[in-house]
């Protein structure tokens, strides 16, 4: 199948120890591709699972979710292996990215699902995520990045031992603000859908139906309860081997990666001054509409759906 032309080329490099958006140069697009786009720890794996569940409704995907729908930018696996995997898939494909919108290619015949979450919740989840990564994995990635001429990243190594130092680093260097801002510019385009993490928590069935409509995927009415159940946080955690190989990268495996899935843990951690810093940064760095949407979750659907 021939690939369709780019609607817009990649505009900016996002290269670091964990991910490198130049890997997209090896990607061969197909019409109908689905891209799940989010900042880290905002419901990416959850949304990937929903998409795979909708694509393989009998419950028979040929591989775990994270292998079937790989994180293309991530440097954990050789890009040649990821591209070969995607090129041999005969079905409609799904790909994950944490790169902001100006760092990935845009295709008019692809679907972009943008998932976001309150930044303070994303911060707390990211801290647990980074603390759980196996040290030898991080060291290996850092060494290979240096060998490839990839900068180690603005801000240096995140200070994960101290929650308040990490918060200061995240507020200044983390990707959350820029990711939401760059994708917000595309919110009115027909092939872009915004999904709020809070809405997945509050109305998983409704959000799955909304995603299915957006992707043009038909579902028999009587099948919905079974499909929704497969995408609950508890179900995903109980069959972690169907989601991904967590042990290779994370200490504690799925228990660490699929941690709690809850919001509001920052309330007992961040100081009033730190919360004020977040509010100030949000006002300065997010478009007003994006700030309203991220703060209001479900109530904003009528404006973005």
Cα dihedral: 228, 67, 238, 52 (round 10):
10
DSSP of 132-190: HB-HHHHHHHHHHHHHTT----TT-S--TTSHHHHHHHHHHH-SHHHHHHHHHTTTTST
Of the CA atoms within 13 Å of residue 76, those in its CB half-sphere come to 15
- Within 10 angstroms of residue 47's Cβ, the number of other Cβ atoms is 27
Surface-to-core class of residue 39, CB atoms within 10 Å of its CB (0-12 exposed, 13-18 middle, 19+ buried): buried
Quote the Cα angle for 244-245-247, to 5°: 140
Residues 6+ apart with CB under 8 A from 114: 37, 38, 183, 186, 192, 193, 194, 195
Active site residue 129: no
- Beta-strand relationship, 111-116 and 94-97: unpaired
DSSP 6: P
- Alpha-carbon distance of 35 to 40, in angstroms, equals 15
DSSP of 213-280: HHHT----GGGHHHHHHHTSHHHHHHTGGGT---TTTBTTTHHHHS----S-GGGGTS-HHHHHHHHH
Catalytic residue among 29, 91, 98, 179: 98
Helix (H, G, I), strand (E, B) or coil at 114: strand
- Alpha-carbon distance of 182 to 300, in angstroms, equals 18
Contact 117, 43 (CB under 8 A): yes
Catalytic center residues: 98
């Amino acid at each position: 199948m021939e690939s369709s032309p780019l609607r817009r080329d990649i505009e900016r490099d996002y290269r670091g120890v964990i991910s490198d958006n130049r890997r997209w140069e090896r990607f061969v697009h197909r019409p109908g591709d689905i891209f799940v786009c989010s900042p880290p720890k905002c419901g990416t794996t959850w949304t990937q699972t929903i998409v795979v569940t909708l694509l393989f409704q009998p419950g028979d995907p040929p591989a775990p979710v994270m292998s079937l729908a790989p994180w293309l930018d991530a440097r954990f696996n050789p890009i040649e292996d990821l591209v070969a995997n995607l090129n041999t898939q005969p079905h409609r494909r799904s790909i994950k990215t944490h790169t902001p919108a100006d760092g990935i290619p845009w295709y008019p015949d692809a679907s972009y699902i943008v998932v976001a979450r309150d930044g303070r919740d994303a911060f707390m989840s990211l801290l647990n995520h980074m603390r759980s990564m196996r040290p030898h994995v991080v060291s290996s990635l850092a060494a290979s990045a240096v060998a490839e001429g990839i900068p180690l990243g603005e801000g240096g190594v995140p200070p994960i031992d101290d929650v308040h130092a990490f918060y200061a680093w995240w507020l200044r260097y983390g990707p959350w603000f820029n990711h939401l801002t760059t994708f917000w510019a595309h919110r009115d385009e027909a092939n872009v859908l915004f999904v709020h993490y809070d809405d997945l928590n509050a109305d998983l069935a409704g959000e799955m139906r909304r995603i299915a409509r957006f992707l043009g995927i038909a579902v028999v009415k009587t099948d919905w309860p079974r499909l929704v159940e497969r995408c609950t946080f508890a179900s995903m955690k109980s069959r972690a081997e169907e989601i991904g190989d967590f042990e290779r990268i994370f200490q504690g495996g799925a228990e660490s990666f699929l941690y709690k899935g809850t919001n509001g843990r920052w309330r007992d951690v961040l100081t009033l001054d730190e919360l004020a810093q977040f509010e100030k940064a949000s006002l300065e760095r997010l478009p007003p509409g994006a700030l309203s949407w991220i703060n209001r979750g479900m109530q904003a659907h009528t404006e973005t759906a």
